[in-house]
Structure 1
């Protein structure tokens, strides 16, 4: 069972216990009653989190649509569908650098997205610059897939610098670089050192 001296301290003692929070004491309850109350509380928290996520997603969709209107671009459904997900998955959607800029502006304040899957989107160096500008401002993104995006030396340098400055990135895929013959060995060595030191 459960005795609590503070709201966060839990000690299982026996089959029946008294719950004390602060100076107030509740009646005795069994372990199963406490478990039921705890599961109800967790479910209510989850419902509240879902409501918060949906509310934020609505705001982000509106923000993206406004940014598209200002840029005189049509909002892409594949981007609008991603704002409630923890993985912003645009793999193979060919959004291009212009829409990546608009999506990056929208993702600045998104605390639910923790992975960007942008592989095979023809972002080029310009689109990569928008992604690397986003990452220092969004501390929740920890995984990044930029494979097959026609990335050249300038884009690679921007990625390396961003990853070196951002210790929160734990997974990065940049396979399929454009100028593999001209890759700057120094940048590649810096990236390898960063990953080996984690």
Structure 2
């Protein structure tokens, strides 16, 4: 069965790929608006891990709406959530038997409710899977430490291919780089560079 996994090149989506590859033909899929070329970081990681890779073009209008929400709220949560839901909708419309993401049990954003998952499945005829939904951050970090080679650091220093990077780029282009700190709290991002050993 073919499965499309929303993929950023970070630890969560990479760990999800390793879990799912036991049961599905996994294609790592990076959703992007075309604002930056950061998607190629995810492609490089996918190639290093031996997974097929595809790009999924998102609607630029959704990026504009997400940025407007971030400005209105003063924080990124609802904007990022909007983009994630759009990306799942787009992925579900592709020719996959199942779709997945790397959301964890304790993620504040993005999240997918039971009702949202059921709606995706019913409307698109696919299975939605969140293989890390039972894992907290500590459990994920322990698995990552023994399994993956990872570069970690502040958001602005780590090469990655997630929604936040493009939304930051739009805001920086329109308001200047100093505006980013008004909306986005400091937090750590990861970029996977290889696998220490396969999950057993």
Asked if TM exceeds 0.5, the reply is no
Larger RCO: Structure 1 or Structure 2 (Cα < 8 Å, ≥ 6 residues apart)?
2
- Mark the structure with the bigger radius of gyration: 1
| Structure ranking higher in strand proportion | 2
